[in-house]
């Protein structure tokens, strides 16, 4: 039994020796690499519809709002312009824009503003500026006004406004 224990001890010593010898002989090489990306200025724009609701020419002036969402890369400067709409040149008194009847050819004048006091008309020459933020989109409110006293045919009226975001 004594020989057996001595054999086991010798075998363990040899095994431990090989382990140290292998670790001492191991060679290690390292390297590094760069991880890169280029972020370009980028923007997206979307807008909600504006609905004045039922209009009574004998009633009061109606107001409504729309929201323009500008989603740009953080720090990107931009400007937003609004078109005159489909019937801008044919607008009656009450605004520089007009909705056209879906059945009749009547025009219902209205206006869009960049401020809640409805004093600054928002169009192709008056822009709203902004800068992209880290948190995502910046919301710009469009304030609409539909003046009373426009005696047009009973109909549904509509117009299309193009939103342009330049960056």
Which two tokens mark 73?
């890369």
Residue 20, pLDDT score: 54
pLDDT in tens, 20-61: 555 567 899 999 999 999 999 999 999 999 999 999 999 999
Higher pLDDT, 108 or 92: 108
If phi > 0 it is left, if psi is from -120 to 50 it is alpha, else beta; for residue 94 that is: left
Q: pLDDT tens-digit profile of 60-71?
A: 999 999 999 999
Q: What pLDDT, on a 0 to 100 scale, did the predictor assign at position 21?
A: 52
133 or 3, which is more confident: 133
Question: By the 8 A CB rule, do 101 and 153 touch?
Answer: yes
Dihedral class, residue 98 (left if φ above 0, else alpha if ψ from -120 to 50, else beta): beta
Distance CA 139, CA 94 (A): 27
Q: What is the pLDDT of residue 26?
A: 87
- Could you read off the pLDDT of 116-134 as tens digits, one per residue? 999 999 998 999 999 999 9
């Amino acid at each position: 039994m004594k020989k057996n224990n001595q054999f086991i001890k010798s075998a363990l010593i040899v095994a431990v020796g090989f382990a140290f010898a292998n670790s001492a002989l191991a060679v290690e090489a390292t390297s590094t690499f760069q991880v890169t990306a280029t972020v370009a200025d980028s923007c997206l724009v979307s807008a909600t519809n504006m609905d004045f609701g039922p209009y009574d020419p004998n009633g009061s002036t109606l107001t409504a709002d729309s929201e323009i969402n500008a989603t740009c890369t953080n720090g990107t400067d931009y400007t937003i312009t609004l078109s005159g709409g489909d019937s801008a040149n044919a607008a009656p008194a009450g605004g520089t824009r007009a909705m056209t009847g879906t059945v009749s050819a009547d025009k219902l004048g209205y206006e869009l503003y960049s401020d809640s006091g409805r004093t600054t008309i928002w169009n192709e020459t008056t822009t709203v500026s902004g800068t992209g933020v880290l948190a995502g989109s910046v919301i710009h409110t469009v304030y609409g006004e539909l003046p009373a006293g426009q005696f047009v045919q009973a109909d549904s009226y509509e117009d299309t406004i193009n939103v342009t975001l330049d960056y």
